Amino acid sequence: MAVSTLPRSARRRAPRVLVAVLALSAIVPAAGVSAGENDDRLEQRQRRTKVEIGDVEQRLVELRETIAAEQRASTTLQVQIAEAARALGEAQSAFDETQQQLMSLRSELVVIEAEHAEIQTRLADRALVAVELAEGPAALEFVLESQSLTEAGDRLEFLNQMQVADDALADEAAVAAEMLDRKRRLEQAELARQVELVEVLDTEEERLAAALVDQQWRLDAIADAKQEAQRLLSQLSAHAEELAEREFSVPAGGGATFGTWAKSFLQYIDAPTCSDNVVIMVTWQVAEFTEARWNPLATTLDMPNATVFNSHGVRNYVSLEQGLEATHQTLLRGAETYGYGAVLQGLKRCADRMVTANAIRASSWCAGCASGAYVTGLVPIVERYWERYANESAWD
């Protein structure tokens, strides 16, 4: 994953050129004004111009440092957002698991409670029979009514078997009661775990929200700094404006949003611009968050007249078309060796966004980034703040 950095500052030639032009203009005296007065006025004008240029230069240096610092902080926040999103996803999965466990336990409890109630009813019924037959005169009369010793023995055995059956039923009731108690304890444990997970979910949501707010503030600060830089530079000559092009790496035709570039790339590779594809391409750009010109996915493939953006070899491309081609060629060339083929296939068939996201994560594009949640961890964040990210531009 390429880290967003500003290019090295170009030498400030414009102010020296401007001063030189002003110095040459001092040779020609103004009509109707003495040479001495003209020299004084020109000297004053040169001094004012030098002061103005110096002030602008100093402010541009400050703005450049501000932009660089905010971009570094934004990149760090991007990692924190991905980690928070991953942690939130894990907590949500664990919470969902407890929900499933509770549903399963409660279903089992309904069955066990019904069985236990049925056994208790049978025990109550058998107890009444036992009282009538197995105790006192009723039991004795039952045996004495026998017509023979054999029948008497059978009746005694019957009474004995009833007692055995009652004991077995009592044991069954005890087992059911123990099972019921164990399931209820499990239910209470799952409920307690769910309460803990709700606290974790709340904490992670707050952490994620705070990081998103912080990043929003920093992105706004970067945009404000760039606007101020452009306003200051517009006060200078065409030379100073040319200097600004180099100082702040403003590309010709820059300003394409993440959403616009996503659709352009999908059309370029003949993939459908369906919702899943657009979302995943915008999320991929958010995951990289680079300011390399016309190169929002931070590929390092060299192209004619492309320049080096950072120490990782990420390129600045000369046009949208060249950036699209470079990105496409990178994916094609690494289809087999780096696992990019699955990414292209997902885009071509408009696969579910998480299927394509997992293909990107599993590829070598940025293996292991964002604690193993590269792109995948940001999908729900981009979906939640779609307007912000789809309309974000790394080249404003």
Give pLDDT tens digits for 372-387: 888 988 888 888 878 7
High-pLDDT (> 90) share of the chain, %? 23
Mean of pLDDT values over 56-67: 77
Contact predicate 286/78, CB 8 Å: yes
Mean of pLDDT values over 256-270: 92
Residue 363 reports pLDDT greater than 80: yes
Mean of pLDDT values over 29-55: 57
- Among all chains, which residue has been given the structure tokens 């995943």? 280
Mean of pLDDT values over 21-41: 45
Give the residue with greater pLDDT, 139 vs 32: 139
pLDDT for position 151: 62
Mean of pLDDT values over 77-102: 81
Q: Which of 222, 281, 264, 249 is nearest to 73 (CA)?
A: 222
Residue 126 reports pLDDT greater than 80: no
Contact partners, residue 139, CB within 8 Å, separation at least 6: 133, 159
Q: Which of 348, 346, 349, 381 is nearest to 362 (CA)?
A: 346
Which sign does the torsion angle of CA 276, 282, 286, 292 carry?
positive
pLDDT for position 337: 94
Joined together, the tokens standing for residue 217 give 């503030």
Q: Is 6 exposed, middle or buried (0-12, 13-18, 19+ CB in 10 A)?
A: middle
The Cβ of residue 155 has, within 10 Å, a number of other Cβ atoms equal to 17
Euclidean distance between CA atoms 241 and 32, whole angstroms? 34
pLDDT for position 146: 61
Euclidean distance between CA atoms 126 and 178, whole angstroms? 21
Mean of pLDDT values over 338-362: 96
Contact predicate 319/253, CB 8 Å: yes
Give the residue with greater pLDDT, 174 vs 36: 174
pLDDT for position 93: 84
Residue 340 reports pLDDT greater than 90: yes
Euclidean distance between CA atoms 283 and 32, whole angstroms? 67
Joined together, the tokens standing for residue 151 give 């029948």
pLDDT for position 335: 94
Give the residue with greater pLDDT, 258 vs 161: 258
Sequence letter at residue 313: G
Of 10-14, 238-242, 269-273, where does the model show the most confidence?
269-273
Contact predicate 300/314, CB 8 Å: yes
